Chains A and B, each alone.
Chain A
Amino acid sequence: MNTDDERDPGWNPPRIAEQLLRRLVPRGPIGRSILGDAREEYGSLARTGSPMKASLRYWGVVASIGLHFLGRSTPRDVLADIRLAVRSLVRRPLFAVASVGTLAVGIAATTIVFSIAYGILFRPLPYPHADRLVGVYREDPDVTGLNPSAAEVGGLFAIPYPLFLDWRDRSPVFEATGAFATWGWTVTSDDRPQRVMGAIASSGVFTALGSPAAIGRTLVPEDDQVGAPAVAVLGHGYWERAYGRSPDVLGSTVTLSGVPHTVVGVMPEGFNLPGRTTDVWASFDDVAKEGQTREAGWLQVIALLKDGVSFEQAEAEMDQLALRIAEDHPVEAGKSVAMFPFRDLVVSRASAGIWVLVAAVGTVLLIACANIAGLLLVRATDRRRELAVRLAMGSGRARLVSQLVAETVVIALVGGLLGYAASVLAIGPFLDAFPGGLPRSSEVVVDHRVLLISMALAGVTCLLTGILPSLQGARTRVAEALRGSGRTVAGSRGQTRIQGMLVVSEVTLAVFLLVVAGLFIRSFTGMSRVDPGFRAEGIMTSYMVLPSQYRDPPELADAFYRDLYGRLAAIPGVTSVVGVTQMPYSGGYSAPPVRAEGATGYVDGTAHISHATPGYFEALGIPVLRGRAFTLDDTPDTEPVVVVNEPFAERYWPSQDPIGRRMKINSTSDTTWFRVVGVVTGIRYDLDRPPVPEFYLGLDQLSYYWRTVVLATDGDPAILAPAVRQAVWALDRNIPVSVRTLASALESSPSLVGARFGSILLGGLAVVAALLALLGVYAILAYTVARRTQEIGVRIALGAATGRVLRHVLRRGLLLGGSGIVLGLALALAGGRFLESLVFEISPSDPATLAAVAALILAASLGAAWMPARRAVRVDPVEALRME
């Protein structure tokens, strides 16, 4: 029956739909009359106007008939089909486990990683005009080489208050401009001192972020005026915790580190600075508002671009403004404005890595799909004969197909559900493994759209590869299939080739992924082996801020700390107690402008600043290269001294002896000169960046009411925590104590966390990919051996040495694995360029990694081939021949 000749030229329904319908309807006159009905209706609809509508209608008819003729029309039949499907799957547990497992793993991996990527990268920031929000910084050519990535803006780019005012009042492109500094206060409630984190902010922050208060008001422009009373806006979480959501909080007073603030409002739930919980928003005090210095920046500025102003336009305008500001304030000369879309500021560091993960997970899904395709293809071939027999015995084609559909659906459903369960269960522990390391991770949840997409993808793969071959099977000429005994059926050679191609591409992708993962793991281990320049083991740190009564006169703070040091030193196991203002890996740092006397390199620039007590360098194992460290003889009454690090000396006094030279901090109004007495080695503030210029002032020469108290011990520093708290509270119950070991701080440094995140995730994905690919290798060989049992039996009967048979199967395994390895390595080499920026001190074509992956996969392919090979050797010729 060749109906193509009968297609009339004018009104033909969609060809694919018609073909499909032809397969769905029963053979014979009834089927043909149904086809005719559909065609007639299509023609009349198309003639009366809309071919589009007619096509849609035709597809609708196809779907409706498909549903009624394929699926059984009563639920009982559907249930019967499902029961049959489950039973048939249980009978072949290996196939069932392999296909369901592959599906579940593919879906879970995809969902987890895509959810994370979506939560961090694509989900809009929770601010109404997030796309128009920018972070604004001052770019200073003097600090080239120190530029941190945008995500970790510290002191280097920070903005002085007067410059913020210039921008706020003079920028033609900003609709709102806000400045803030993250801040911490001590608040004593119920006699327990508590550290409360938040920000000092101008009203513009609220305008820019675009959120009204939940109750009361936000900060408003009047609060930015000099002389305005101190006010505070509470974060929702803090309002809940500290005030039990009482609305009476409005108008009450909260004492932040000794300064009373009037509570004027509470922000809605979830309103935070990005990536951190903000408990309190306080207005700037007059000291800040009246500050005139333009050298020391301490603020972050965010701005809302006017509607319709492009980012580039804004940059150009701000550069112009910078020039005009420099005319009025010479100190601004040579400095320009750097702007970043707010989103980049929040996620930039993680984004490149996330894209690699997304690519990797896509690869795993591809491998999983290829694997399922291979498995179902094998199954379809195996069932050709079974289907032919059932057809011969009078089974309806529709009924057979509906059973096959049921089976595929059962696989897809069970696999999908397991995948779903796995992703829901695993995503939490996953994120927990990276405390503080992922920005916006609190916003990550299993994304159901993502889940649906990956399930749909896997489902379509199942249907295509499971049902189409089965349909083909169902259409097999019965006699031919029966005669063929499923062994020499025409087309099976082509099918084996398709399977081979599937497996080779799986191995290729897996090898590629393993190489990438290997590079990340080597980067990570390389990074964790990097010497940060100090010893992290056996160090306990405790950051503390003394209440205001210790600040005036400042000697009170000195006396307190002296007393405390004595008590801490008496704790058994403690070898030394020192103090420092800038602990490495405590988050944040400041870098004021400095001037070096007689500098031959830079005269003016910036450098990290810290203050340390005598013994600090020794306690942290930082070598003194020249001169001396601080001693007890450095007191407020002796000449102010400074210890600089090696990069500092090289930057300002290259090839000179810095000892005895002087430097000063530009921003200090009194122009104190500090004499250089020593040079120490630089320490890394970020493991993947070299040490930056830094200088240390004597903490005992200047009085500071806050600092990090550092305890060195020979044992485990973590067990010191209770003793430290006791010692502090024995002196004053009103001082909050937070303790942390330096090792754990180092452990959670952003670069290390990022590298570990990448390694673990990629490593895991790569292992999954490799296992799936090897399962593919195993499946195809096992299938081939099973299919050729008779042939092998004959060979053995004719005297073929078993060693030869063994070699034959193994060779095929090696061929599959080897082709995949060669292609995968080629892919890795070609793609290496894109990885260069993501790996640390290792070449993307690192021979050791490539060789290791190749060897691993080669060995594993042999392993996967071994079992089928053994089975081939054990073939009993008599049994095999009897099957004939």
Chain B
Amino acid sequence: MGSYLGEFEQLVLLSILQLGDEASALSVLQELDHRAGRRVSRGALYKTLERLEAKGLIAWELEDATPGRGGHPRRFFAVTPEGVSALQQTRDTLFRLWEGLDGVLGEPNR
């Protein structure tokens, strides 16, 4: 049984997947803003990343000092297999619940 995924956790995980190799904290922020229309505070994002890491759903690796970052490294995030299966479970659950409701909710607006 996978751990429960909060909505924001799902968003972060999905953003990381969408970004592929480019998933740094700042690009996740941008992705959330552009695709999900969510402006997220920096602290909240770092806290969520910390929590996802603690649950084993994401991992990160360090890219060495880059110019323009004051000599500080950059972290790139990736979703672990556990993370992917947690997303799958969540999606399946949601799909089951969504099924047959098009009459009420209308066609999804993609």
- Please determine whether B69 and A36 come into contact, CB atoms closer than 8 angstroms: yes
Segment among B37-45, B85-93, B99-107 that sits at the interface with chain A: B37-45
Collect the chain B residues with CB atoms within 8 Å of residue A3's CB: 70-71
- Please determine whether B68 and A40 come into contact, CB atoms closer than 8 angstroms: yes
Please give me the residue from chain B that is nearest to A8 by CB atom.
B70
> Which residues 12-62 of A have a CB within 8 angstroms of B?
29-30, 32-41, 43-44, 60-61
Segment among B1-9, B13-21, B72-80 that sits at the interface with chain A: B72-80
Answer yes or no: B59 CB below 8 A from chain A CBs.
no
- Please determine whether A33 and B75 come into contact, CB atoms closer than 8 angstroms: yes
Q: Contacts A37-B26, A39-B68, A43-B68: A29 and B73 contacting too (C-beta < 8 A)?
A: yes
Collect the chain B residues with CB atoms within 8 Å of residue A30's CB: 50, 75
Please give me the residue from chain B that is nearest to A7 by CB atom.
B70
Q: How far is the CA of A32 from the CA of B60 in the complex (A)?
A: 14
Q: How far is the CA of A67 from the CA of B71 in the complex (A)?
A: 25
A-B contact count (CB 8 A): 74
> Which residues 41-73 of B have a CB within 8 angstroms of A?
41-44, 46-47, 50, 62, 65-73
Please give me the residue from chain A that is nearest to B62 by CB atom.
A29
Collect the chain A residues with CB atoms within 8 Å of residue B66's CB: 36, 40
- Please determine whether A29 and B75 come into contact, CB atoms closer than 8 angstroms: yes
- Please determine whether B70 and A35 come into contact, CB atoms closer than 8 angstroms: yes
Q: How far is the CA of A69 from the CA of B68 in the complex (A)?
A: 25
Main secondary structure of the interface of A (DSSP, over half): helix
Collect the chain B residues with CB atoms within 8 Å of residue A43's CB: 68
Q: How far is the CA of A40 from the CA of B66 in the complex (A)?
A: 9
Answer yes or no: A66 CB below 8 A from chain B CBs.
yes
Answer yes or no: B24 CB below 8 A from chain A CBs.
yes
Collect the chain B residues with CB atoms within 8 Å of residue A61's CB: 42
Q: Contacts A33-B25, A37-B24, A37-B25: A64 and B42 contacting too (C-beta < 8 A)?
A: yes
Collect the chain A residues with CB atoms within 8 Å of residue B68's CB: 8, 11, 39-40, 43-44
Collect the chain A residues with CB atoms within 8 Å of residue B50's CB: 30
- Please determine whether A65 and B69 come into contact, CB atoms closer than 8 angstroms: no
Chain B interface category by residue count: 20 to 34
> Which residues 279-300 of A have a CB within 8 angstroms of B?
none
- Please determine whether A66 and B75 come into contact, CB atoms closer than 8 angstroms: no
Collect the chain B residues with CB atoms within 8 Å of residue A34's CB: 25, 46
Q: How far is the CA of A776 from the CA of B62 in the complex (A)?
A: 52
CB distance from B26 to the nearest CB of A (A): 5
Collect the chain B residues with CB atoms within 8 Å of residue A35's CB: 70, 72
Q: How far is the CA of A37 from the CA of B72 in the complex (A)?
A: 8
Q: Contacts A6-B70, A8-B70, A40-B68: A68 and B44 contacting too (C-beta < 8 A)?
A: yes
Collect the chain A residues with CB atoms within 8 Å of residue B71's CB: 3, 6, 36
Answer yes or no: A73 CB below 8 A from chain B CBs.
yes
Q: How far is the CA of A40 from the CA of B70 in the complex (A)?
A: 8
Please give me the residue from chain A that is nearest to B61 by CB atom.
A29
Collect the chain A residues with CB atoms within 8 Å of residue B70's CB: 3, 6-8, 35-36, 39
CB distance from A279 to the nearest CB of B (A): 59
CB distance from B66 to the nearest CB of A (A): 8
Main secondary structure of the interface of B (DSSP, over half): mixed
Collect the chain A residues with CB atoms within 8 Å of residue B42's CB: 37-38, 60-61, 64-65
CB distance from A2 to the nearest CB of B (A): 10
Set A39, A60, A66: member contacting B72, Cβ < 8 A = A39
CB distance from B85 to the nearest CB of A (A): 25
CB distance from A296 to the nearest CB of B (A): 76
Please give me the residue from chain B that is nearest to A47 by CB atom.
B68
- Please determine whether B72 and A32 come into contact, CB atoms closer than 8 angstroms: yes
Set A8, A33, A65, A68: member contacting B74, Cβ < 8 A = A33
Set A6, A44, A68: member contacting B46, Cβ < 8 A = A68
Q: How far is the CA of A1 from the CA of B88 in the complex (A)?
A: 43
Set B43, B46, B73: member contacting A36, Cβ < 8 A = B73
CB distance from B18 to the nearest CB of A (A): 19
CB distance from B5 to the nearest CB of A (A): 17
- Please determine whether B43 and A33 come into contact, CB atoms closer than 8 angstroms: no
**Binary interface encoding of chain A residues 304-321 relative to chain B, with 1 for a CB under 8 A from any of its CBs, else 0:** 000000000000000000
CB distance from A684 to the nearest CB of B (A): 70
CB distance from B60 to the nearest CB of A (A): 8
Collect the chain B residues with CB atoms within 8 Å of residue A66's CB: 43
Q: How far is the CA of A29 from the CA of B25 in the complex (A)?
A: 14
Set A8, A36, A44, A64: member contacting B41, Cβ < 8 A = A64
Q: How far is the CA of A576 from the CA of B26 in the complex (A)?
A: 96
Q: How far is the CA of A40 from the CA of B25 in the complex (A)?
A: 11
CB distance from B41 to the nearest CB of A (A): 4
Collect the chain A residues with CB atoms within 8 Å of residue B67's CB: 8
Please give me the residue from chain B that is nearest to A39 by CB atom.
B70
- Please determine whether B62 and A33 come into contact, CB atoms closer than 8 angstroms: yes
- Please determine whether B43 and A65 come into contact, CB atoms closer than 8 angstroms: yes
CB distance from B74 to the nearest CB of A (A): 6
Please give me the residue from chain A that is nearest to B51 by CB atom.
A73
Set B24, B47, B75: member contacting A68, Cβ < 8 A = B47
Collect the chain A residues with CB atoms within 8 Å of residue B43's CB: 64-69
Collect the chain A residues with CB atoms within 8 Å of residue B41's CB: 64, 67-68
Q: How far is the CA of A770 from the CA of B50 in the complex (A)?
A: 52
> Which residues 43-97 of A have a CB within 8 angstroms of B?
43-44, 60-61, 64-69, 73
Please give me the residue from chain B that is nearest to A35 by CB atom.
B72
- Please determine whether A33 and B72 come into contact, CB atoms closer than 8 angstroms: yes
Q: How far is the CA of A538 from the CA of B81 in the complex (A)?
A: 100
Set A39, A41, A64: member contacting B44, Cβ < 8 A = A64
Q: Contacts A61-B42, A73-B47: A39 and B69 contacting too (C-beta < 8 A)?
A: yes
- Please determine whether A40 and B75 come into contact, CB atoms closer than 8 angstroms: no
Collect the chain A residues with CB atoms within 8 Å of residue B26's CB: 37, 40-41
Set B44, B46, B62, B69: member contacting A40, Cβ < 8 A = B69
Please give me the residue from chain B that is nearest to A68 by CB atom.
B43
Collect the chain B residues with CB atoms within 8 Å of residue A29's CB: 62, 73, 75
Q: Contacts A64-B42, A68-B44, A68-B46: A36 and B74 contacting too (C-beta < 8 A)?
A: yes
Besides A36-B73, A40-B66, A44-B68, 13 more A-B contacts (Cβ < 8 Å) are: A6-B70, A6-B71, A30-B50, A32-B72, A34-B25, A36-B66, A36-B70, A37-B24, A37-B69, A38-B42, A65-B43, A66-B43, A68-B46
11 contacts between A and B (CB under 8 A): A3-B70, A7-B70, A29-B75, A32-B73, A33-B75, A36-B72, A37-B24, A37-B74, A64-B43, A68-B46, A68-B47
Q: List chain A positions with a Cβ less than 8 A from chain B.
A: 3, 6-8, 11, 29-30, 32-41, 43-44, 60-61, 64-69, 73
Q: Which 10 A-B pairs have the closest CB atoms?
A: A36-B72, A68-B43, A6-B71, A36-B69, A64-B43, A39-B70, A64-B41, A33-B75, A65-B43, A64-B42
